[in-house]
């Protein structure tokens, strides 16, 4: 069984072919970072037009690289939300058109679920497992019970982790996207120079809050008359260390609350951060858990994760009609 996956939810235009055995036949991606850098962030209209321009080429390259014709594909999966709705519409409509033309099943994929299931592609992890999903727009702790079955344990009440990285990078005058730039700058900084708050960490909840942390960074930066490169490095290191402590603490609390679950997965774009994933792996491994994190290329948005989610649904005989509505918001708990 082979599925073609299409991803257009934000600023990555991607297409991939994945087999039922988990072999990635192709994983083609066009990054729009250069397009959006001058704006300091993703411009939805610009992004949607870029998807419209590059998606046909990505699909053609995915099929050619995989050595597969459309006739040999068993299903066509596309991100149908959540995400920037213009891009989501472009990808979902392309997938529907191809499915209708080729008489292949269409599978509407929740972008967050694709991240959640990636560890099953890379590590063959069995259900159930605990999941820390950290990306540009989301920060959640979840119990993954099975395909389309998720129990939300905690979520960000304001800014997500990736969003906070972007905003702090902007405060420091670092380029977009902020996540990789913060990580790079932090390697040259002192993580103990700035004492930053850890919002909500003493409260008996598994929810997250990063807005106050971002505000504290702004106040510290405003105290510095002339921001030097070393100031930027030190703040980046202090901010990254604080975020890591929050994520690790909440993850340990989730592990304590669900002692029956011995497998822990970290997924989403922020999982590509080597500092965060390293500290999380160390803390949870000491507690006896098996910690699984996909390789960085499969943590950020890509077509392979969409194709694999399509495989998961096809295995269960689940497909979607061509009138499925793409949506900007689509919480995982609504899939249950």
What does the pLDDT look like over 53-108, one tens digit per residue? Answer: 999 999 999 999 999 999 999 999 999 999 999 999 999 999 999 999 999 999 99
How much is the pLDDT for 336?
65
In the predicted structure, residue 184 carries a pLDDT above the cut 90: yes
How much is the pLDDT for 331?
93
Q: Which of 118, 104, 24, 147 is nearest to 320 (CA)?
A: 104
Q: Count CB neighbours of 262 within 10 A.
A: 13
* Residue linked to tokens 């999903």: 133
Domains of the chain: 2-116+300-335 (3.30.420.40), 126-293 (3.30.420.40)
Question: How many Cα atoms are found within 13 Å in the side-chain-facing hemisphere of 300?
Answer: 19
In the predicted structure, residue 293 carries a pLDDT above the cut 70: yes
How much is the pLDDT for 38?
82
Radius of gyration of the chain (CA): 20
Dihedral angle of Cα 290, 293, 294, 296, to the nearest 10 degrees: -150
d(CA 262, CA 90): 39
Q: Calculate mean pLDDT across residues 183-189.
A: 98
In the predicted structure, residue 136 carries a pLDDT above the cut 90: no
How much is the pLDDT for 33?
87
In the predicted structure, residue 191 carries a pLDDT above the cut 80: yes
Q: How buried is 71 (Cβ within 10 angstroms: 0-12 exposed, 13-18 middle, 19+ buried)?
A: exposed
User: Binning pLDDT at 50, 70 and 90, where does residue 274 land?
Assistant: very high
In the predicted structure, residue 132 carries a pLDDT above the cut 90: yes
How does pLDDT run across 137-181, given as a tens digit for each residue? Answer: 899 999 999 999 999 999 999 999 999 999 999 999 999 899 999
Give, in order, the Cα–Cα distances in Å from 77 to each of 2, 104, 115, 141, 198: 11, 10, 14, 25, 39
How does pLDDT run across 194-237, given as a tens digit for each residue? Answer: 999 999 998 999 999 999 999 999 999 999 999 999 999 999 99
How much is the pLDDT for 40?
84
Q: Which of 186, 183, 140, 178 is nearest to 162 (CA)?
A: 178
Q: How buried is 225 (Cβ within 10 angstroms: 0-12 exposed, 13-18 middle, 19+ buried)?
A: exposed
Q: Calculate mean pLDDT across residues 116-144.
A: 96
How much is the pLDDT for 37?
86
Q: Give percent of the chain above pLDDT 90.
A: 94
User: Binning pLDDT at 50, 70 and 90, where does residue 41 land?
Assistant: confident
In the predicted structure, residue 35 carries a pLDDT above the cut 90: no
Instruction: Strand 24-31: give its sheet, edge to edge.
Output: 24-31, 12-19, 2-7, 75-81, 106-110
């Amino acid at each position: 069984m082979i599925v073609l996956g299409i991803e257009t939810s934000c600023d990555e235009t991607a297409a991939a072919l994945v087999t039922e055995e988990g072999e990635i036949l192709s994983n083609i991606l066009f990054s729009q970072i250069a397009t959006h850098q001058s704006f300091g962030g993703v411009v939805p209209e610009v992004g949607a037009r870029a998807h419209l321009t590059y998606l046909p080429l990505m699909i053609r390259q995915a099929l050619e690289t995989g050595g597969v014709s459309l006739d040999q594909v068993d299903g066509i999966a596309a991100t149908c939300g959540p995400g920037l709705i213009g891009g989501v519409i472009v990808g979902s409509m392309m997938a529907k058109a191809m499915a209708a033309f080729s008489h292949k099943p269409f599978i509407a994929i929740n972008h967050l679920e694709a991240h959640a299931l990636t560890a099953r592609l890379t590590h063959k992890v069995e259900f159930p497992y605990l999941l820390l999903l950290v990306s540009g727009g989301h920060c959640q702790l979840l119990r993954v019970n099975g395909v389309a079955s998720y129990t939300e344990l905690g979520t960000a009440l304001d800014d997500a982790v990736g969003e906070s990285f972007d905003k702090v990078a902007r405060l420091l005058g670092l380029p977009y996207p902020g996540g990789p730039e913060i990580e790079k700058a932090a390697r040259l900084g002192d993580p103990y120079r700035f004492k930053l708050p850890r919002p909500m960490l003493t409260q008996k909840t598994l929810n997250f809050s990063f807005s106050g942390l971002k505000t504290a960074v702004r106040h510290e930066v405003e105290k510095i008359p002339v921001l030097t490169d070393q100031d930027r490095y030190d703040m980046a290191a202090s901010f990254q260390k604080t975020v890591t402590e929050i994520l690790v603490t909440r993850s340990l609390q989730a592990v304590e609350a669900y002692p029956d679950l011995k497998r822990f997965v970290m997924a989403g774009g922020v999982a590509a951060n080597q500092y965060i994933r390293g500290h999380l792996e160390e803390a949870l491994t000491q507690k006896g858990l098996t910690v699984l994190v996909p390789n960085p290329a499969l943590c950020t948005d890509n077509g392979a994760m969409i194709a694999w989610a399509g495989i998961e649904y096809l295995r269960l005989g689940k497909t979607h009609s061509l009138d499925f509505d793409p949506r900007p918001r689509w919480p995982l708990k609504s899939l249950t």
